[in-house]
Structure 1
């Protein structure tokens, strides 16, 4: 370890070499940078322990296989490097996120990141989006469309985007799954065959709650009773409005989902 280096902030592992995150680099010729060609995962870390790491690594492997980049994936190597990075970062004390990036150029980047504070509830703007079907099942580095959707929503004074197809089918937020309680009181979420991400947090909630997977149209949203977003870093976050439709935030089922997910996370970490 180099003398005089500040190891108290965020760290990175670049192909196994641990450095301060601000000093992490990949070659400018890497197609992961030039073309967004590669895959990534973001893992929540609680007190130094990565949650659902096995599920995230499984999805990373599937993403790389679908991109025809499977040769870049070595589960044992990545796991060992994650352990080394989190041990160096602050074993048992780090509460944040771990980003795993594999590029077409064959580089492996691991980054510890802080979790930015989020509001208890968010207002969503509808943004038209056509999913690229060739990337089904891939959590790729090509995230420009998702990021632009969020910026378009914020330009209009909202907190986040809710992606909707040109035909009016509700999908997800740029970095979160969408759940909505319909006029009959049923908790619903769009099915995976709408070409949305197979979210790990979504999967946990489907196991914990009575959820109907069905297509949701933008016209139905106004008749809903409540809504929330779910993701690795936000867990469950209430939605207070979608365009001009206002929801209780949090609603009864949103509170229930947050409570059950929190207990499930604690149970898995304890196990």
Structure 2
């Protein structure tokens, strides 16, 4: 969808440092530390069929991340919630990828060059739905690999705080591309599985579902998988998963806000099952979307309340 005279927000809407605008107009200063030092935390919530999924969980995690990085923007949680609803409503999107970022600005002239003097502010936007895996990958199952690059250790930076420190994940993505795989799953320094670029992972061995205990983001969709395992009576273990166990698993699947549950079919060239998504992964994926359609953890967007487009794009 492209902007029109009727709705300049049709391609997406943004909120930047207190102002609303079409997403294409959102800019941050190149001198801000959010840009120069990746001094940013963020979260992403999905809108599907006109409703947020687990909005409160995302807002709580966003606030925890901001507190961990000593960031205190002017907006309260309730105000951030209202901002997110408004940018979705302004866009009119029924299925949207909705990001909330908190950036640190540069210290003002004369202040000490220390992050304590950099003002924290919000940048939020809603754009058409984005999925990590393509339709082809979703049908055939993702092809994964374990790269040489290792995940940044938790002792250096807590992976439970969402961040833009993607140097290791980006290198893994290039290694996967060179190997003819779709995505890379990084190991920690001890050779245990952590996560991929923007998604958590699970393995299934002998009917038991397992997910890494450390070294990865505590994903909101990961939490949903845990709830589904309990509902479906599937044994679940949260523990260290050695690389060789992961490579030998009966099934592997990933999960993320931008795509839900995404089964894999291959790992390091090894074909799992019949080279298609496995039965437990498929059962979890199907139940996930069935419950989403039933309104599970849904917060409907009040489009009517924001029907009037802000004149000139200003809030």
**Normalising by the residue count of structure 1, what TM-score does the alignment of the two structures yield?**
0.90
Give secondary structure in 2 for the equivalent of 1:78. Answer: helix
Moved more, 130-139 or 24-33: 130-139
> What pairs up with 1:91-102 in 2 under 5 angstroms?
93-102=93-102
* 8 Å Cα contact 2:188/2:215 also seen in 1: no
2: CA distance between counterparts of 1:253 and 1:189?
14
* Deviations 1:212-236, CA, capped at 9 Å, x for gaps: 1121111113431111101111111
Q: Which runs of 5+ in 2 are unaligned?
A: 106-119, 230-234, 301-315
In structure 2, what is the equivalent of residue 131 of structure 1?
Answer: 152
**1:267 equivalent among 272, 291, 296:** 296
**Normalising by the residue count of structure 2, what TM-score does the alignment of the two structures yield?**
0.78
Give secondary structure in 2 for the equivalent of 1:107. Answer: strand
Give secondary structure in 1 for the equivalent of 2:191. Answer: coil
> What pairs up with 1:1-271 in 2 under 5 angstroms?
6-71=8-73, 74-90=76-92, 93-105=93-105, 106-114=120-128, 115-116=130-131, 118=134, 119-120=137-138, 121-127=141-147, 128-133=149-154, 134-136=156-158, 137-182=160-205, 184-191=206-213, 194-209=214-229, 210-248=235-273, 249-265=276-292, 266-269=295-298
Give secondary structure in 2 for the equivalent of 1:109. Answer: strand
**Alpha-carbon spacing, 1:264–1:72, altered in 2? closer, same or farther (3 Å):** farther
Q: CA deviation at 1:166?
A: 3.5
1: CA distance between counterparts of 2:75 and 2:179?
41
**Alpha-carbon spacing, 1:247–1:76, altered in 2? closer, same or farther (3 Å):** same
Q: Which runs of 5+ in 1 are unaligned?
A: none
Moved more, 69-78 or 249-258: 69-78
Higher relative contact order (CA 8 A, sep 6+): 2
Give secondary structure in 2 for the equivalent of 1:58. Answer: helix
* 8 Å Cα contact 1:129/1:164 also seen in 2: yes
* 8 Å Cα contact 1:171/1:190 also seen in 2: yes
* Deviations 1:60-107, CA, capped at 9 Å, x for gaps: 1111111111355521221121122111110xx421210111101223
Moved more, 156-165 or 63-72: 63-72
Q: CA deviation at 1:264?
A: 3.3
Moved more, 68-77 or 100-109: 68-77
The runs of at least 4 consecutive aligned structure 1 residues that moved more than 3 Å come to: 3-6, 70-73
Q: CA deviation at 1:22?
A: 1.6
Moved more, 98-107 or 8-17: 8-17
Residues paired across the two proteins, number = 265
1: CA distance between counterparts of 2:7 and 2:291?
38
2: CA distance between counterparts of 1:80 and 1:6?
20
2: CA distance between counterparts of 1:24 and 1:270?
26
* 8 Å Cα contact 1:72/1:102 also seen in 2: no
Give secondary structure in 1 for the equivalent of 2:298. Answer: helix
* 8 Å Cα contact 2:40/2:103 also seen in 1: yes
2: CA distance between counterparts of 1:7 and 1:197?
32
